[in-house]
Amino acid sequence: MNAQFFVEATFRLSSRKVFVAHGRILQGTVRPGQRVMQPEGLDAPVSDIGFLLISIKEGRENPTLSFQYETEDQAARWEALSLAGKTLELEDSPSRVGSVAS
């Protein structure tokens, strides 16, 4: 299944070697294991889905997509993509096609 995710901002959690994009789901269902097909350059599967509290007063949260990076160079390349304001096109990896989440 394909999905679209609009990125409002990104940040890095260096202590966990995680690159995080937060925003909103435009279409479909996002899940761990999906890969970013567009824009090119984010060369790792989604490792986790979470939520980022945007406003305590309003109780507003944004969904987050986390990507595990292996090297600082890889994280720097992802940051250089300047994903804020862009839409990620996500696609299930071949090993997940047809699988059912429990």
Please, are residues 23 and 66 in contact by the beta-carbon 8 Å criterion? no
Single pTM value for the model:
0.84
By CB atoms closer than 10 A (0-12, 13-18, 19+), residue 82 is: exposed
- Place 101 in a pLDDT band, splitting at 50, 70 and 90: very low
> Which tens digits make up the pLDDT trace of 42-98?
999 999 999 988 777 777 789 999 999 999 999 999 999 999 999 999 999 765 444
Other Cβ atoms closer than 10 A to 44: 15
Looking up residue 87, the CATH number of its domain turns out to be: 2.40.30
Strand partners, 53: 61
Task: Count Cβ neighbours within 10 Å for each residue of 45-80 and write b for 16 or more, e otherwise.
Answer: bbbeeeebeeeeeeeeebebbbbebeeeebbeebee
- What pLDDT does residue 46 have? 97
The number of distinct structural domains making up the chain is: 1
Radius of gyration of the chain (CA): 13
- What pLDDT does residue 95 have? 55
Q: Which domain holds residue 25?
A: 2-91
**Domain presence at residue 96:** no
**Domain presence at residue 51:** yes
